[in-house]
Amino acid sequence: MASGIQASIQAAISRLLRPLVRLLLRYGVPFGVFADIAKRVYVDVAMDEFAIPGRKPTISRASVITGLTRKEVQRITRLPELTDVEIQDRYNRAVRVVSGWTRDERYLDADRKPRPLPLEGAAGSFSELVRRYSGDAPVRAVLDELMRVGAVETLASGDVRLLGPVYVPEGQLEDKFGILGTDVADLVSTIDHNLNHSGSDSRFQLKVSYDNLPAGVLAPFRKLSSERSLELLQMLDAELSRLDRDTNPDAGGAGRMRAGLAIYYFEEDLEATDGDAKN
Protein backbone atom coordinates (compact mmCIF):
# COMPACT_ATOMS: atom_id res chain seq x y z
CA MET A 1 0.00 0.00 0.00
CA ALA A 2 1.33 3.43 -0.90
CA SER A 3 2.73 5.50 1.96
CA GLY A 4 0.37 8.36 1.08
CA ILE A 5 -2.65 6.12 1.56
CA GLN A 6 -1.21 4.80 4.82
CA ALA A 7 -0.75 8.36 6.08
CA SER A 8 -4.31 9.25 5.10
CA ILE A 9 -5.67 6.16 6.85
CA GLN A 10 -3.73 6.90 10.02
CA ALA A 11 -4.88 10.53 10.06
CA ALA A 12 -8.48 9.42 9.52
CA ILE A 13 -8.23 6.85 12.33
CA SER A 14 -6.80 9.49 14.66
CA ARG A 15 -9.71 11.81 13.94
CA LEU A 16 -12.23 8.97 14.22
CA LEU A 17 -10.85 7.77 17.55
CA ARG A 18 -10.72 11.17 19.26
CA PRO A 19 -14.45 11.40 20.17
CA LEU A 20 -14.49 7.67 20.93
CA VAL A 21 -11.53 7.91 23.31
CA ARG A 22 -13.15 10.95 24.95
CA LEU A 23 -16.24 8.82 25.57
CA LEU A 24 -14.20 5.85 26.84
CA LEU A 25 -12.25 7.99 29.31
CA ARG A 26 -15.45 9.63 30.52
CA TYR A 27 -16.89 6.22 31.41
CA GLY A 28 -13.73 4.78 32.90
CA VAL A 29 -12.61 2.42 30.12
CA PRO A 30 -8.77 2.26 30.28
CA PHE A 31 -6.51 1.73 27.29
CA GLY A 32 -5.84 -1.91 28.17
CA VAL A 33 -9.52 -2.81 27.86
CA PHE A 34 -9.79 -0.96 24.54
CA ALA A 35 -6.65 -2.69 23.25
CA ASP A 36 -8.03 -6.13 24.15
CA ILE A 37 -11.32 -5.36 22.37
CA ALA A 38 -9.44 -4.11 19.31
CA LYS A 39 -7.35 -7.30 19.22
CA ARG A 40 -10.49 -9.39 19.44
CA VAL A 41 -12.16 -7.54 16.56
CA TYR A 42 -8.99 -7.81 14.44
CA VAL A 43 -8.98 -11.57 14.93
CA ASP A 44 -12.74 -11.96 14.36
CA VAL A 45 -12.66 -9.99 11.11
CA ALA A 46 -9.53 -11.77 9.89
CA MET A 47 -11.09 -15.18 10.55
CA ASP A 48 -14.56 -14.32 9.22
CA GLU A 49 -13.79 -12.14 6.19
CA PHE A 50 -10.18 -12.64 5.11
CA ALA A 51 -9.83 -16.39 4.89
CA ILE A 52 -8.47 -17.87 1.67
CA PRO A 53 -11.45 -18.82 -0.53
CA GLY A 54 -12.21 -22.53 -0.27
CA ARG A 55 -10.10 -22.96 2.86
CA LYS A 56 -11.00 -23.03 6.52
CA PRO A 57 -9.77 -19.99 8.52
CA THR A 58 -6.61 -20.76 10.47
CA ILE A 59 -4.81 -19.35 13.47
CA SER A 60 -1.65 -18.97 11.40
CA ARG A 61 -3.30 -16.89 8.68
CA ALA A 62 -5.05 -14.68 11.25
CA SER A 63 -1.66 -14.16 12.93
CA VAL A 64 -0.05 -13.10 9.64
CA ILE A 65 -2.88 -10.70 8.71
CA THR A 66 -3.28 -9.07 12.12
CA GLY A 67 0.36 -8.99 13.23
CA LEU A 68 -0.55 -10.74 16.49
CA THR A 69 1.33 -13.82 17.65
CA ARG A 70 -0.23 -17.23 17.07
CA LYS A 71 -0.43 -17.67 20.84
CA GLU A 72 -2.34 -14.40 21.22
CA VAL A 73 -4.72 -15.27 18.37
CA GLN A 74 -5.33 -18.67 19.97
CA ARG A 75 -6.11 -17.02 23.31
CA ILE A 76 -8.51 -14.53 21.74
CA THR A 77 -10.45 -17.19 19.83
CA ARG A 78 -11.21 -18.93 23.13
CA LEU A 79 -12.70 -15.88 24.82
CA PRO A 80 -16.50 -15.72 25.33
CA GLU A 81 -18.38 -13.65 22.78
CA LEU A 82 -19.11 -9.99 23.49
CA THR A 83 -22.75 -9.31 22.63
CA ASP A 84 -25.61 -6.91 23.29
CA VAL A 85 -28.22 -8.96 21.44
CA GLU A 86 -30.78 -8.49 24.22
CA ILE A 87 -30.46 -4.69 24.08
CA GLN A 88 -30.60 -4.64 20.28
CA ASP A 89 -33.65 -6.89 20.19
CA ARG A 90 -35.45 -4.76 22.77
CA TYR A 91 -34.57 -1.59 20.88
CA ASN A 92 -35.68 -2.94 17.49
CA ARG A 93 -39.00 -4.19 18.80
CA ALA A 94 -39.75 -0.89 20.53
CA VAL A 95 -38.84 1.09 17.39
CA ARG A 96 -41.19 -1.00 15.26
CA VAL A 97 -44.07 -0.54 17.70
CA VAL A 98 -43.64 3.25 17.91
CA SER A 99 -43.20 3.49 14.15
CA GLY A 100 -46.38 1.53 13.50
CA TRP A 101 -48.27 3.65 16.00
CA THR A 102 -47.32 6.88 14.21
CA ARG A 103 -48.23 5.83 10.64
CA ASP A 104 -50.77 2.99 10.69
CA GLU A 105 -54.25 4.43 10.19
CA ARG A 106 -55.70 1.88 12.61
CA TYR A 107 -53.97 3.74 15.47
CA LEU A 108 -54.40 7.37 14.32
CA ASP A 109 -57.07 9.93 15.13
CA ALA A 110 -58.98 12.17 12.69
CA ASP A 111 -55.96 14.52 12.51
CA ARG A 112 -53.68 11.59 11.69
CA LYS A 113 -51.98 11.82 15.07
CA PRO A 114 -51.25 8.75 17.23
CA ARG A 115 -54.30 8.33 19.46
CA PRO A 116 -54.40 6.84 22.97
CA LEU A 117 -55.05 3.11 22.71
CA PRO A 118 -56.94 0.79 25.03
CA LEU A 119 -54.55 -1.76 26.46
CA GLU A 120 -56.62 -4.77 25.39
CA GLY A 121 -58.95 -5.41 22.49
CA ALA A 122 -59.19 -7.14 19.16
CA ALA A 123 -58.88 -4.07 16.94
CA GLY A 124 -57.15 -0.73 17.42
CA SER A 125 -55.71 -1.64 20.82
CA PHE A 126 -52.18 -1.48 22.18
CA SER A 127 -52.13 -5.27 22.40
CA GLU A 128 -53.01 -5.58 18.73
CA LEU A 129 -50.36 -2.96 17.85
CA VAL A 130 -47.69 -4.97 19.67
CA ARG A 131 -48.73 -8.26 18.07
CA ARG A 132 -48.72 -6.65 14.64
CA TYR A 133 -45.36 -4.86 14.90
CA SER A 134 -43.35 -6.69 17.54
CA GLY A 135 -43.72 -10.32 16.63
CA ASP A 136 -44.03 -12.66 19.58
CA ALA A 137 -42.90 -10.20 22.28
CA PRO A 138 -45.18 -10.19 25.33
CA VAL A 139 -47.44 -7.12 25.38
CA ARG A 140 -46.60 -6.36 29.01
CA ALA A 141 -42.86 -6.51 28.30
CA VAL A 142 -43.17 -4.02 25.43
CA LEU A 143 -45.34 -1.71 27.53
CA ASP A 144 -42.87 -1.85 30.42
CA GLU A 145 -39.99 -1.04 28.04
CA LEU A 146 -41.78 1.95 26.50
CA MET A 147 -42.74 3.24 29.94
CA ARG A 148 -39.19 2.69 31.22
CA VAL A 149 -37.74 5.04 28.61
CA GLY A 150 -40.56 7.58 28.87
CA ALA A 151 -42.03 6.89 25.43
CA VAL A 152 -45.59 6.22 26.67
CA GLU A 153 -47.79 6.83 29.67
CA THR A 154 -50.94 5.19 30.98
CA LEU A 155 -53.98 7.42 31.45
CA ALA A 156 -56.57 7.29 34.23
CA SER A 157 -58.87 5.56 31.74
CA GLY A 158 -56.36 2.76 31.35
CA ASP A 159 -55.49 3.78 27.80
CA VAL A 160 -51.86 3.99 26.70
CA ARG A 161 -50.69 7.29 25.17
CA LEU A 162 -47.62 7.80 23.00
CA LEU A 163 -45.54 10.78 24.18
CA GLY A 164 -43.37 11.31 21.10
CA PRO A 165 -43.13 10.34 17.44
CA VAL A 166 -39.88 8.37 17.82
CA TYR A 167 -38.36 5.89 20.25
CA VAL A 168 -35.36 7.33 22.06
CA PRO A 169 -34.05 5.54 25.17
CA GLU A 170 -33.56 8.70 27.23
CA GLY A 171 -31.49 8.22 30.36
CA GLN A 172 -30.69 4.54 29.70
CA LEU A 173 -26.92 4.39 29.18
CA GLU A 174 -26.85 0.70 28.24
CA ASP A 175 -29.35 1.30 25.44
CA LYS A 176 -27.56 4.44 24.24
CA PHE A 177 -24.27 2.55 24.01
CA GLY A 178 -26.10 -0.08 21.96
CA ILE A 179 -27.15 2.65 19.53
CA LEU A 180 -23.54 3.90 19.42
CA GLY A 181 -22.31 0.48 18.36
CA THR A 182 -24.96 0.08 15.66
CA ASP A 183 -25.14 3.58 14.19
CA VAL A 184 -21.41 4.30 14.02
CA ALA A 185 -20.76 0.83 12.60
CA ASP A 186 -23.35 1.48 9.88
CA LEU A 187 -21.68 4.78 8.94
CA VAL A 188 -18.20 3.26 8.80
CA SER A 189 -19.53 0.33 6.73
CA THR A 190 -21.05 2.79 4.24
CA ILE A 191 -17.75 4.69 3.98
CA ASP A 192 -15.87 1.40 3.52
CA HIS A 193 -18.30 0.43 0.73
CA ASN A 194 -17.91 3.80 -1.01
CA LEU A 195 -14.12 3.57 -0.90
CA ASN A 196 -14.41 0.48 -3.08
CA HIS A 197 -17.41 1.37 -5.25
CA SER A 198 -18.45 4.33 -7.35
CA GLY A 199 -21.31 5.55 -9.49
CA SER A 200 -24.55 3.62 -9.19
CA ASP A 201 -22.91 1.11 -6.83
CA SER A 202 -22.09 3.75 -4.20
CA ARG A 203 -24.28 4.39 -1.17
CA PHE A 204 -25.77 7.74 -0.20
CA GLN A 205 -23.29 9.61 2.03
CA LEU A 206 -23.63 13.39 2.13
CA LYS A 207 -23.64 16.16 4.71
CA VAL A 208 -24.05 19.94 4.85
CA SER A 209 -21.58 21.89 7.00
CA TYR A 210 -20.32 25.47 7.50
CA ASP A 211 -17.51 26.54 9.83
CA ASN A 212 -18.03 30.27 10.52
CA LEU A 213 -21.51 30.41 12.04
CA PRO A 214 -22.49 32.73 14.89
CA ALA A 215 -23.58 30.82 17.99
CA GLY A 216 -27.03 32.41 17.94
CA VAL A 217 -28.12 30.67 14.74
CA LEU A 218 -27.61 27.13 16.07
CA ALA A 219 -30.77 26.77 18.14
CA PRO A 220 -33.17 27.66 15.29
CA PHE A 221 -31.15 25.52 12.88
CA ARG A 222 -31.28 22.56 15.29
CA LYS A 223 -35.05 22.95 15.45
CA LEU A 224 -35.42 23.25 11.66
CA SER A 225 -33.12 20.32 10.92
CA SER A 226 -34.91 18.12 13.48
CA GLU A 227 -38.34 18.90 12.05
CA ARG A 228 -37.36 18.41 8.40
CA SER A 229 -35.31 15.30 9.13
CA LEU A 230 -38.16 13.73 11.08
CA GLU A 231 -40.54 14.38 8.17
CA LEU A 232 -38.15 12.65 5.76
CA LEU A 233 -37.51 9.70 8.06
CA GLN A 234 -41.21 9.16 8.68
CA MET A 235 -41.87 9.11 4.93
CA LEU A 236 -39.04 6.63 4.33
CA ASP A 237 -40.16 4.54 7.30
CA ALA A 238 -43.62 4.19 5.75
CA GLU A 239 -42.06 3.03 2.47
CA LEU A 240 -39.70 0.51 4.07
CA SER A 241 -42.43 -0.88 6.32
CA ARG A 242 -44.52 -1.52 3.21
CA LEU A 243 -41.65 -3.59 1.78
CA ASP A 244 -40.58 -5.35 4.99
CA ARG A 245 -41.93 -8.87 5.43
CA ASP A 246 -42.17 -8.59 9.23
CA THR A 247 -44.65 -5.72 9.04
CA ASN A 248 -46.16 -6.74 5.70
CA PRO A 249 -46.13 -10.54 5.23
CA ASP A 250 -47.58 -10.10 1.72
CA ALA A 251 -44.45 -8.24 0.54
CA GLY A 252 -42.78 -11.45 -0.65
CA GLY A 253 -39.42 -11.54 -2.41
CA ALA A 254 -36.21 -13.51 -1.95
CA GLY A 255 -33.21 -12.93 0.31
CA ARG A 256 -32.99 -11.09 3.61
CA MET A 257 -31.46 -7.60 3.50
CA ARG A 258 -31.11 -4.79 6.03
CA ALA A 259 -31.23 -1.20 4.74
CA GLY A 260 -32.14 2.28 5.93
CA LEU A 261 -31.12 5.92 6.12
CA ALA A 262 -29.57 7.56 9.19
CA ILE A 263 -29.47 11.29 9.94
CA TYR A 264 -27.56 12.96 12.75
CA TYR A 265 -26.89 16.56 13.80
CA PHE A 266 -23.45 17.85 14.82
CA GLU A 267 -21.88 21.07 16.04
CA GLU A 268 -18.49 22.11 17.40
CA ASP A 269 -17.13 25.22 19.11
CA LEU A 270 -14.09 25.96 16.94
CA GLU A 271 -12.84 28.76 19.20
CA ALA A 272 -12.77 26.38 22.15
CA THR A 273 -11.07 23.72 20.01
CA ASP A 274 -8.42 26.18 18.83
CA GLY A 275 -7.85 27.34 22.38
CA ASP A 276 -7.34 23.78 23.60
CA ALA A 277 -4.85 23.13 20.81
CA LYS A 278 -2.74 26.14 21.85
CA ASN A 279 -2.60 25.19 25.54
Q: Which residue has the higher pLDDT, 243 or 180?
A: 243
* Residue 153, SS3 per DSSP: strand
pLDDT greater than 60 at residue 132: yes
Q: Which residue has the higher pLDDT, 273 or 86?
A: 86
pLDDT band at 276 (very low <50, low <70, confident <90, very high): low
* Residue 13, SS3 per DSSP: helix
By the 8 A CB rule, do 105 and 243 touch?
Answer: no
* Residues 98, 165: Cα–Cα separation, whole Å: 7
For residue 108, what are the contacts with CB-CB under 8 A and spacing of at least 6? 114, 115
pLDDT tens per residue across span 176-230: 787 788 889 999 999 999 999 998 999 999 999 999 999 999 999 999 999 999 9
Region 76-96: what's the mean pLDDT?
80
* Residues 5, 11: Cα–Cα separation, whole Å: 10
**Which has the minimum average pLDDT: 54-58, 135-139, 195-199, 223-227?**
135-139
pLDDT tens per residue across span 141-175: 899 889 888 889 999 999 999 988 777 766 567 77
